Chains A and B, each alone.
Chain A
């Protein structure tokens, strides 16, 4: 089955056509236009304002932030780039969120399958134990103490490993995969066993494509959790000679009490957002296609 839009490409010729009255069609067109514009304004507007600010000089921003600047002041961008070491931090953020989330999704799969197939004694209790993880409080201080004991404090691998198990990412993956795996018929399992396929190969070749939506949602959610973690970097990083911070710390470099640095901050925000927007724009169609469920039909 192909993942296409809802409207079928063509209707069977024999179907009775109900042509909607012309004014109704007009109304629908306008409704689409208005809602589309509304979405664009609501989601783009505030961000555009920040981009505007990044072109203003501090004096202009303090007195008339709403009027466009007379000449574009590009010094904000260079100051932002050099001042906060944004490049390194952006890369760090991407590494932390992608790797940690990928690992936790993988681990979720490794435990969700045996649980969903009831291959383990006490699977029900184990599942409940994992579900509880969705609601657990984020106890950063004990995590900090543990991290120091296990030498996972103030280094990159440590930060990633800690985030694989900390937070709702792993449990969410288990919950989603548990449901999706149950939808996969057990006959496939049996066929694979008879074929002599190894456990891991079976998981990766057969289960993964069939549970793609669950994997994708879990991965995305986990990635966002780590991406948006503002207190983790403060608790788990003490500062070293190489910059290990993710962008949630770096972006605050300009956010002191002094207002006149808002313009540089806005430039930093713009710089930090551009690569992400570009990447998402490029992949959004595949992303949505991959989120399609029910590949079992047809």
Chain B
């Protein structure tokens, strides 16, 4: 037993904790990544820089992140639940549809991003043609108004499959006898959904909401592929990713990463405790 514990802890500490701690240390310096680079401790200056014009974009990214996380979490879970509900029966058609819903996940983030870039190509792509039917023109991923909603949409599109899978598992785990009893009692479908199904899905809801929140806080790869953070789509995850490229001082990027971690922690931990508590309450 002990060798297992130690091995797991060693791997986790070495490759999970050590880089994160090192990252926080770097955030207090002006560490640069080239041979012979001087390293000085700069105290809190990398952090205060976020709020000054020296490093513009932090506050906008903060707001964008809050919007992004909220929108993605809600939309992803609502749609995933609807899809799971629709696909719960084990028919052949549903089998096919399940494959389709999981398709974005199977394809991976780079392919998904590029598929949507092609689809929303502002010149002659399918979306442009459809839009043109209404007599409108848009730059889509290049437009200040549409880029952010589109990015949210693609993020949701990409991740519905996984959430739906978790919900499907949860739906399948509900004892059919409960439904039979409800049917006998004459419970309407809607009430059955809200009073029986949904509460019994609490574990699945916990997992899905948590993963959606944490995932959308830290995600950057899809945004990177779609817009590279332009046109108002710069979230904190994306900002922290690009900060490492904007100048040779890695300290600022590290500081952003630490701030992002704290934000995620502050939001996700109470959320997790609440959801677990709710689970225990509903299923006892």
The answer to whether A and B touch directly, with their CB atoms under 8 angstroms apart, is yes
Partner-B contacts on A (CB < 8 A): 3-8, 11-12, 15-16, 18, 32, 35-36, 39-40, 42-47, 49-50, 53, 63-66, 104, 107-108, 110-111, 113-114, 119-120, 126, 129-143, 145-146, 161-162, 164-168, 170-172, 176, 179, 199, 213, 217, 220-221, 224, 227-231, 247-248, 251-252, 255, 262, 265-266, 269, 272-273, 276-277, 280-281, 284-285, 287-289, 291-294, 297
B78 in the interface (beta carbon within 8 A): no
B17 to chain A, nearest CB (A): 7
Give Cα A42 to B161, complex, Å. 12
Task: Give residues of chain B (90-129) contacting chain A, Cβ–Cβ below 8 Å.
Answer: 90, 93, 95, 97-111, 114-116, 118-119, 121, 124-126, 129
Task: Please name the residue on chain A nearest to B119 by beta carbon.
Answer: A46
Q: Given A40-B100, A126-B9, A280-B103, 16 more contacts at CB 8 Å?
A: A5-B88, A6-B176, A39-B100, A50-B115, A66-B124, A111-B5, A130-B12, A135-B269, A138-B257, A161-B15, A166-B16, A171-B16, A248-B110, A251-B111, A255-B114, A284-B102
Say yes or no: A135 contacts B169, CB within 8 Å.
no
B184 in the interface (beta carbon within 8 A): yes
Query: In the complex where A228-B109, A228-B221, A293-B170 touch, is A142 in contact with B98 (Cβ < 8 A)?
Result: no
Give Cα A277 to B105, complex, Å. 10
Say yes or no: A291 contacts B106, CB within 8 Å.
no
Q: Which 6 A-B pairs have the closest CB atoms?
A: A165-B15, A291-B169, A110-B4, A137-B257, A139-B23, A142-B22
- A161 / chain B contacts, CB cutoff of 8 Å: 11, 15
B190 to chain A, nearest CB (A): 13
Say yes or no: A293 contacts B203, CB within 8 Å.
yes
Query: In the complex where A36-B97, A136-B20 touch, is A294 in contact with B173 (Cβ < 8 A)?
Result: yes
- B184 / chain A contacts, CB cutoff of 8 Å: 15-16
Task: Give how many B residues have a beta carbon under 8 Å from the other chain's beta carbons.
Answer: 97
B250 to chain A, nearest CB (A): 6
- Report the stretch among B43-51, B61-69, B140-148, B259-267 that lies at the interface: B259-267
Say yes or no: A136 contacts B261, CB within 8 Å.
yes
B157 in the interface (beta carbon within 8 A): yes
Say yes or no: B218 contacts A39, CB within 8 Å.
no
B83 in the interface (beta carbon within 8 A): yes
Say yes or no: B98 contacts A288, CB within 8 Å.
yes
Q: How many A-B residue pairs have CB under 8 A?
A: 271
Query: In the complex where A114-B1, A137-B240 touch, is A170 in contact with B172 (Cβ < 8 A)?
Result: no
Give Cα A111 to B4, complex, Å. 7
Give Cα A255 to B117, complex, Å. 12
Say yes or no: B19 contacts A142, CB within 8 Å.
yes
Say yes or no: B90 contacts A280, CB within 8 Å.
no
Say yes or no: A139 contacts B254, CB within 8 Å.
yes
Q: In the complex, which of the residues A42, A65, A140, A170 contacts B121, with contact meaning CB atoms closer than 8 Å?
A: A65
Say yes or no: A133 contacts B12, CB within 8 Å.
yes
Q: In the complex, which of the residues B121, B162, B170, B258 contacts A220, with contact meaning CB atoms closer than 8 Å?
A: B162
Task: Give residues of chain B (9-34) contacting chain A, Cβ–Cβ below 8 Å.
Answer: 9, 11-20, 22-23, 26, 33
- B260 / chain A contacts, CB cutoff of 8 Å: 137
Say yes or no: A170 contacts B111, CB within 8 Å.
no
B228 in the interface (beta carbon within 8 A): no
Say yes or no: A146 contacts B18, CB within 8 Å.
yes
B53 in the interface (beta carbon within 8 A): no
Task: Please name the residue on chain A nearest to B116 by beta carbon.
Answer: A46
Say yes or no: A40 contacts B97, CB within 8 Å.
yes
B53 to chain A, nearest CB (A): 25
- B86 / chain A contacts, CB cutoff of 8 Å: 32, 35-36, 39
Say yes or no: B101 contacts A39, CB within 8 Å.
yes
A21 to chain B, nearest CB (A): 13
Say yes or no: A142 contacts B23, CB within 8 Å.
yes
B198 in the interface (beta carbon within 8 A): no
- A284 / chain B contacts, CB cutoff of 8 Å: 95, 98-99, 102
- A46, A107, A231 — most chain B CB neighbours (10 Å): A46
Give Cα A138 to B114, complex, Å. 24
Say yes or no: B17 contacts A133, CB within 8 Å.
yes
B209 in the interface (beta carbon within 8 A): no
- B8, B95, B115, B168 — most chain A CB neighbours (10 Å): B8
B244 in the interface (beta carbon within 8 A): yes
Say yes or no: B118 contacts A266, CB within 8 Å.
yes
